[in-house]
Amino acid sequence: MSEQDIRCSFCGRRKDEVDILIAGTTGHICDRCVEQAEAIVAEESSSHAGAHSSLDFTLRRPAEIKTYLDDFVIGQDEAKRTLSVAVYNHYKRLTHQHGEHAPEVELDKSNVILVGETGTGKTLLAKTIARMLDVPFCIADATVLTEAGYVGEDVESVLSRLLQAADFDVESAERGIVFIDEIDKIARKSDNPSITRDVSGEGVQQALLKLLEGTDVQVPPQGGRKHPEQKLITVNTANILFICGGAFAGMEKIVARRLRKSTIGYASAGHVVEESEALAYVDPSDLRAFGLIPELIGRFPVLTALRPLKRSALRRILTEPKNALVRQYIKLFAMDDIALTFDADALDLIVDHALERKLGARGLRGICEVILRNAMFELPGTDVGELRVTAAYAQAQIDAQHDAQNDVESGHKQLGTKAS
């Protein structure tokens, strides 16, 4: 047999039609068939691995989850306990479904909705739990979602982010956690059904229903709008835990009004609730009064509220958590070989200004940035090896920023006067 007559035993190509032809004891294989075989083996291996990886996590008990959360989140004990139980039950449900025998009782999932002012730790709680469980996690913003066909994003784009977080492993994504922030921004404006089309409010709530309940969703892998020529990925949301959070500005008044109505006669003298603490008593009827449709509320069996952070909690947030703000800035300066220290009265001053801004824990970082901005600009590359932040230094930096803002405002007023 001549060399030209030797063919690949798999595809039948002659030796002169391929780059490489590998000889075996009873046959030959070309380089193209080797590449195809490698792709098939890799695909089969990943599918088998995916089948086993759906339960490749350690089931932590609620007390263990809360203990882990305590290392990163200060306060909010009630919310941490509620969230720990919800997450534990959700992943226990997955274990139950994948048991050796078919489950006699089918367990429904318990999506969670967190109500709390900005900066109280809603996003941090969800992030910390996802990091602990080592499952795919993504954050979506409800404010950009609109009904299909309108400017904005489809609700399926939420799952696109989850797929990307799971490296497009569908099996892994189908046991992930999705945190939808600003859920209060899609509330309808009144408690009555909208006569006109509410494409970014009630329409989005209705579109979210199928995702939350559990169904097969066609997801565009790169996000954006779905197009006929775009290849879609099917994702089943039955085992995806949805956690929604929102500030629900004005909810305190709704809760306080309901509590006042319910305390009639002799009971009215019993328990008085301050408006600042009213969120702790929120219930589903308050969400409906705020503007969420009953069908959406029904898909969030677990409802918990985060209390406003008081002075003592803000003070602890600065220093106690594993990723405390003070530790972060010390680490940043240490990278430039500068030893950063804070006096206790300087930390108290930061907390006082944060309380004035009413931005919760987020306000702390903004004030720290103002205090340390000039130092972070000027000190790197110099011979300075130590920076001590005192209350006087901190106040001077804050005052300097206020003076600069006042100069800009006065400049705008003078321009307005000249123009008139």
pLDDT digit string, tens, across residues 231-246: 888 999 988 999 999 9
Pick from 73-87, 102-116, 384-398, 402-416: least confident = 402-416
For residue 254, count other CB atoms closer than 10 A to its CB.
19
What pLDDT shows up at residue 54? Answer: 45
Q: Which of 109-123, 209-223, 279-293 has the lowest mean pLDDT?
A: 209-223
- Name the maximum alpha-carbon separation found in the chain: 108
Unique residue bearing structure tokens 């009144």? 190
- Non-local CB neighbours of 356 within 8 Å, separated by 6+ positions: none
Tell me: pLDDT of 157 over 60.
Answer: yes
311-419 fold: Helicase, Ruva Protein; domain 3 (1.10.8)
- The H or E element containing residue 400 is helix 391-419
Contacts of 297 (CB under 8 A, 6+ apart): 284, 287, 288
Q: What confidence score (pLDDT) does residue 44 get? A: 76
Whether the predicted pLDDT of 270 surpasses 50: no
The predicted pLDDT at position 192 comes to: 53
pTM of the complete model: 0.72
Closest to 285 in 3D by CA, of 241, 255, 256, 245: 255
- Work out the angle at residue 199's Cα, subtended by the Cα atoms of residues 196 and 205, and round it to the nearest 5 degrees: 105
In terms of pLDDT, which residue wins out, 49 or 316?
316
Angle among Cα 324, 330, 334 to the nearest 5 degrees reads: 145
d(CA 256, CA 274): 8
pLDDT at 256: 84
Mean pLDDT of 87-94: 83
Q: Where are the domains of the chain?
A: 3-53, 62-306, 311-419
pLDDT for 250: 85
CATH H-level, domain 62-306: superfamily: P-loop containing nucleotide triphosphate hydrolases (3.40.50.300)
What end-to-end distance do the CA atoms of the chain give, in Å?
100
How many CA within 13 A on the CB side of residue 408? 6
The contacts of residue 219 (CB under 8 Å, 6+ apart) are 156, 159, 160, 163, 232, 233, 234, 235
Least confident window among 221-230, 341-350, 399-408: 221-230
The model's pLDDT over 49-82, given as tens digits with 9 standing for 90+, comes to 444 444 455 678 899 999 999 988 888 899 999 9
Is 253 in a helix, a strand, or coil? helix
d(CA 382, CA 189): 56
Give one DSSP letter per residue of 328-380, joined into a string.
HHHHHHHTTT-EEEE-HHHHHHHHHHHHHHT-THHHHHHHHHHHHHHHHHHST
